[in-house]
Amino acid sequence: MSTRLIYLTGLVLVGLLLSISVYLQLYDGFIPCPLCTLQRLCFVTLGIWFLFGLFLHRNQLGRAIINSLSVLTSALGCALAGRQIWLQHFPNANANECGVSLQYMMKVLSFNELIQKIFTGSAECTQLGWEFLSLSMAEWSVVWFIFFLALTIYLLRKS
């Protein structure tokens, strides 16, 4: 399989995953929590790296940079999804109040307070919500982030 085809496949998969999440939000009323929003941003960032990879697949340095950034983005996505899974299975006693949106928190809180608030989790982050094949959306996210992590490590070793 060519490197360009792998980048295209990654871009299509990311687009499909984002389309599904937007569909669930708009038509099923599944409102994303702050951790879900950050996971979406990681998927968008991965899509951007894959798009750059489509155009820079012949440049060895460009491929190395893109693949390294993709590995970091996938690892961050795994960490965010893993934290949400932890909150879903072991809810924090302090996370029983409903939180506000990520956009509002970014306007009001300092960066340190924002990070602390996000990783503490809110009531929205502890809810399982949508499930498919007995896995929650956060569990599916970690599966896909692990897949993209393996894919980008393969691409990094290939280059």
Assigned token pair, 35: 């951790």
Burial 110-135 (b: 16+ CB within 10 A, else e): eeeebeebbbebbebbbeebeeeeee
Task: Kindly report, residue by residue over 42-84, the tens digit of the pLDDT.
Answer: 999 999 999 999 988 788 888 889 999 999 999 999 998 888 8
Closest to 125 measured CA to CA, from 21, 28, 20, 38: 38
Would you kindly state where each structural domain of the chain is located, as residue ranges? 3-158
Give CATH for domain 3-158. Answer: 1.20.1550.10
Angle, helices 60-89 vs 34-55, to 10°: value is 160
Task: Kindly report, residue by residue over 125-140, the tens digit of the pLDDT.
Answer: 566 666 667 777 878 8
Instruction: Count CA atoms within 13 Å of residue 69 on its CB side.
Output: 18
Instruction: Note the Cα 144 to chain centre separation in Å.
Output: 9
What pLDDT was estimated at residue 15?
A: 95
Residue 57 is given by DSSP the state T
Burial 14-42 (b: 16+ CB within 10 A, else e): beebeeebeebeeeeebebbbbbbbbbeb
